[in-house]
Amino acid sequence: MADIDLVIVHFDDAVSVFYGRYLHRGALMYDGFVDGNDNLICGVHNWDYKLEIGISEYNNSEVLEKFSTWIEGGDVLVDEDEVRAWGNDNPQPFNRDAYLGL
């Protein structure tokens, strides 16, 4: 798999997969939540991203990458080639081995 943090958001009947770090300071998105306006909200400083397209409602120049996703046999699948290509265009500065225990 591509060496990119992802987050799966299951809200109402929809499942979305986004880049797993907030654009502000790179915090992992596990503490995020969805508000009443269908925005994915960072739990650290409350930056927002529209669930449907990943664009910040507050600042439209901030776009959280959303990857092609589908459900197959009860599993959530994401387009690995798309994630890998995005990762090649956006080299990650984070040491993932430290929190993955590697």
Q: In angstroms, what is the minimal distance from the CB of 2 to ligand FES?
A: 22
Under the binding rule (CB under 6 A), the answer on residue 24 touching ligand FES is yes
Considering only 18, 47, 49, 67, the residue that binds ligand FES (CB under 6 A) is: 47
Under the binding rule (CB under 6 A), the answer on residue 19 touching ligand FES is no
Beta-bridged to residue 39, according to DSSP, are 50
**Tokens standing for residue 20:** 């797993």
Distance in angstroms (rounded) separating the CA atoms of residues 35 and 10: 13
34 vs 44, beta carbon nearer ligand FES: 44
Q: In angstroms, what is the minimal distance from the CB of 9 to ligand FES?
A: 15
**Tokens standing for residue 66:** 């959303």
Considering only 3, 8, 10, 25, the residue that binds ligand FES (CB under 6 A) is: 25
Distance in angstroms (rounded) separating the CA atoms of residues 20 and 7: 5
Distance in angstroms (rounded) separating the CA atoms of residues 33 and 41: 5
